[in-house]
Amino acid sequence: MFLYMLIFMAYHSSRWLPRNQRLKFQIVNAVFIAIVLVPQFYVMGRPKSSRYCRQPLLNNLSASIALSFIASGLSVIFTLVDPVPQSMWASYHVFGLLSFGQGLCTAILTLTAAACVKTTPELYYLSLILTITSISSTGFFAVKGGLWLTKRWPMQRDLSRNNE
């Protein structure tokens, strides 16, 4: 869910700028993309990362890189297009489900790969960082979704009372 949150933050922070200055925001967007992708490529290119590890952490890292590229494309589209079409919002939410699933897989694989610290330390620690960021962003969206539901629930209840 970390990549889903990055798109969310890029979209909402770009809306603070006037439409004619949003292209300048792409520099900030490119920096965040580099901050996310460079460590992943660095760890992928390390010779120690190809050593044997019982859990498929390297395969999980390649999936994370693929999702990072998709997230970078979505963040560029969401910051430049105004208004964002409904189909793009739908693809964004489907990406969120994929990101959640990938974060869940990362957490499970990392928690069961304690022996990989000795054979592939960089890969294990990057997976640990990705797990922590995924759990944190999932918590953020859980709280945000809970607040959204509590805000909407009394209104739905009041509407049902008026229909009686």
**Mean pLDDT computed over 137-158:** 82
Q: Is 9 helix (H, G, I), strand (E, B) or coil?
A: helix
Q: pLDDT, tens digit, for every residue of 16-55?
A: 888 777 777 888 888 888 999 999 999 888 887 777 777 8
Which of residues 52 and 127 earns the better pLDDT score? 127
pTM to 2 decimal places? 0.83
Write down the pLDDT at residue 163.
Answer: 59
What is the residue extent of each domain of the chain?
2-163
- Beta carbons of 120 and 48 less than 8 angstroms apart: yes
- Beta carbons of 11 and 88 less than 8 angstroms apart: no
Query: Which tokens is 110 given?
Result: 């990392």
Write down the pLDDT at residue 164.
Answer: 57
Write down the pLDDT at residue 155.
Answer: 62
Q: pLDDT, tens digit, for every residue of 77-123?
A: 898 888 889 999 999 999 999 999 999 999 999 999 888 888 888 88
Nearest to 60 by CA among 108, 93, 97: 108
